[in-house]
Each structure stands twice: as structure tokens, then as C-alpha cells.
Amino acid sequence: MNGNTSNMMIVVTGGAGFIGSNLCDRLVQKGHNVVCVDNLFTGQLANVRPLMNHPRFTFIEHDMREPLAMAGSIDRIYNLACPASPRHYQRDPIGTMRTCVLGAYHALELGREKRARVLQASTSEVYGDPELHPQPESYHGHVNVTGPRACYDEGKRSAETLFFDYHRQHGVAVKVARIFNTYGPRMLEDDGRVVSNFIVQALRDKPITLYGDGSQTRSFCYVDDLLTGLELLMESPADVIGPCNLGNPREVTIKEIARMVLDRTRSRSSIEHRPLPQDDPKRRQPVIDRARSLLGWRPRVELEDGLRDTIDYFSLKIFSPGETLIPVPVRALAMNRATPGGSRPSSLNGRFAQ
């Protein structure tokens, strides 16, 4: 492990996704060398296009359900590889469970080999449909283990178990973050999550789909605040392992969010009610006392400001023409095992440029 924390070699799995790509941006800007690993199931090359010709950035197309072998030293691994919205993780529930568990296993094995610190991007979904409100890290949750959301909920719970067991059994330096609802630029248009759904529908003057009566609550954290929390947790003292809730404790109803989006987009969209999905949590709000006391972290971006920036992002994305990415060969940093449905062979790994 490199003792110099100002110039580290950092692997970000799921690095072409919403949170992962924003994290890659920040880490490169801080002077780190970043390897982005993504199978592009929900991640998009467009998210990391600004970094593709940067000398400290490398993209590797690889599925974390398969082992990842890399040459050279590694200092940090952020494991963000997994679809995070119900629409996407329910598309292939067995694949989602395998990504949660095998992806965590392979990230931990790489960390064990390289003596790297490994952070698991867990989720507030480990609390299920909570009977305790708000949710502290000590709450063990209320999860339907056979329901349609269980592939993700239970997969993430199992991944947390693996992280703690690798720490206890092998001495791997680990961190576990429980991420609550996060929003901001680079969310997918079609991921079915509240903020992106409402904004895209409003901008297109289509009906806003509100599930249930809209009285269910969420707590929305802007992506920049989340990234700060992840970095602080990763670089916290060795005895600060987690789990650590990272989210905004401001609780709002879904219908409040719908009204805020309609007002800020000046949309003519109507509100269309639909049945509430099975096991959809009725309330979600983090207790962030642990993050405040151990990391000195709290969210700073107000919901109104974050929504404005996210609306601006989607406005440009929806109403601007797309551009094409052309592959350019580069030096490969990984020696991936080529398997059906897995990664490309290392000779095909490349950086992409316009």
C-alpha cells in the first residue's frame, strides 16, 4: 500500500455509473491514478468520456462476477459495482445477487492480494421496509427475503457480511457505507428512480407517475455530498469500519418532490397514480450521528439547489444531440480472465475518445 495518500492508485468498480463516474472525476482531479472497472450493464461510457484521454485514468470493461487480476500496486478499491434501481436490478435478479456477492468477494480478494483498503457501497435497502424510524446503523432491518426486491436487499446484506468476515479472518482493511437515496447529474433517464423519473417526465410534459398516494417518504442526498462522505470514510482511521449511514436526514414525501419538480420545470404534466410496488419502503430517513461524530460529515447541498442542478443536467441531455465515442487502444493495466459474459481480454481493453 502506498503511504502517500495524495497520489494513490485507486480502483473504482462500477465506475461508469452515476455515482462511480462522479467519484472517478473527483479522484482524478485530486491527482490520483484511477482505474474504472465496469461491465456497462447500467454504466455508460458517456459518463467517463471527459476522462478518457487523461493520463491518470484507465477504463477496463469487466464484469465483477468474474475474478479481476491486475498488475502493479493498488492502494484503494471502491466497490460500487451493482445496478441500484429496482427497474434494473429486477431485470436479472439472479445476476444482481451474483454481482452483490461475487462482486464483493472478488473486490475483497483483490484487496487482500494488494493489501489495499476496500470500501463497500452498501445501501439503505438493507433496512428493508423499516419498522424503526429513522434508521440508525444498529437497526437490523425488516426485509422480505423472498420478495422481488430481495435480490438486491439480501445481496447487499450478504456483501456486508463478507466484508466484515474478510476483516476478521484475513485482516483486510475494510469500510462499509450505507448509502441512502442519492440524486444528481448522470442519473439514467430510464432507471425508474423518483428524482430522475419525475424530472424527465416533467421536461417532456408527460404524466408524472406517482406510486401509491405519494405519502411515502424518502431522504435525498445530492451526489457531491455523498462523494465527500465516501472519501472521508475511506480515509478515516483503521478502526472506523462502519457500517456508516450516508444520506440527507431531511425527510420529504414523494408527492412533495413531484410538486417541487413541476414548479421548477414549469411543466404542464399531470400526476398519474399507480399501485404501490410490493415491499416498497413507506419511510426512509437516516440517522447520521455516526458520520457526524467520526467523519465530521453532514450534507450541505439543499434539496432545492440540488434539484435545480439535476434539472439543468437533464434539460441538456434530453434536448442536446448525442456524440459518438471511438475506441483508441491503450496500455492495459489489467489481466482479466476472458469468459463468456465476463470481461474483454486485456489486449482489447481500451480508452475511448471522441
Backbone angles phi, psi at 319, to 5 degrees: -105, 10
DSSP, res 106: H
Is residue 116 within 8 A of residue 1, CB to CB? The reply is yes
Catalytic residue flag (residue 313): no
Q: Which residue has the cell 404542464?
A: 268
Task: Extract the C-alpha cell encoding 86.
Answer: 429496482
Q: Under the phi-then-psi rule, with left for phi > 0, alpha for psi from -120 to 50, and beta for the rest, what region is 326?
A: beta
Q: Under the phi-then-psi rule, with left for phi > 0, alpha for psi from -120 to 50, and beta for the rest, what region is 198?
A: alpha
- Reference 354, options 315, 319, 328, 320; nearest CA is 328
* Catalytic choice (152, 166, 183, 222): 152
* β-pair partners for 9: 33
- Count CB atoms within 10 A of the CB of residue 344: 17
Q: Is 67 helix (H, G, I), strand (E, B) or coil?
A: coil
Q: Which residues are catalytic?
A: 152
